[in-house]
Amino acid sequence: LPRTHKTAPIFYGTEPDNLLPWLGQLEKIFAAASTKEDQAKKWLALEWMDFRMKLEWETNEVLLDNTKSWEDELKKGYPDAMNFEKGSKTHLQMIVQKHQPVHQ
């Protein structure tokens, strides 16, 4: 990891709204480390997923196929994450619910 990062960013499959920021962080890390090979990026990304996600993606044929984009496949697996990127009423409601205080 570059010196600016003490820990690797982790993607949790239960939090799809974090997919795009996680991918952005990975790209910055790969650029700082001069990692250009897609295969290396794929296997490094696996190390920065939660255990359940790692098991799921280790068996995905995309990891073995050099012609397929793992990022595209990952995004297909989490269509909700793409809605967060574009903005949606559902996303706005989730943000409000997540940050609204609990009143008793």
Q: Which domain holds residue 42?
A: 16-99
Dihedrals phi, psi of 17, to nearest 5 degrees: -65, -15
**What's the whole-model pTM score?**
0.70
Task: Answer whether residue 8 is part of any domain.
Answer: no
Whole-number pLDDT of residue 68: 74
**Per-residue pLDDT tens digits for 11-38:** 988 888 888 889 989 998 899 889 888 8
Whole-number pLDDT of residue 91: 64
Task: Answer whether residue 27 is part of any domain.
Answer: yes
Domain count, the chain: 1
pLDDT over 60 (residue 85): no
**Residue 75 near residue 19 (C-beta atoms within 8 A):** yes
Partners of residue 49 on adjacent β-strands: 11
**Residue 34 near residue 7 (C-beta atoms within 8 A):** no
| DSSP structural state of residue 49 | B
Q: What is the mean pLDDT of the chain?
A: 80
Task: Answer whether residue 2 is part of any domain.
Answer: no
Task: Answer whether residue 11 is part of any domain.
Answer: no
Whole-number pLDDT of residue 50: 92
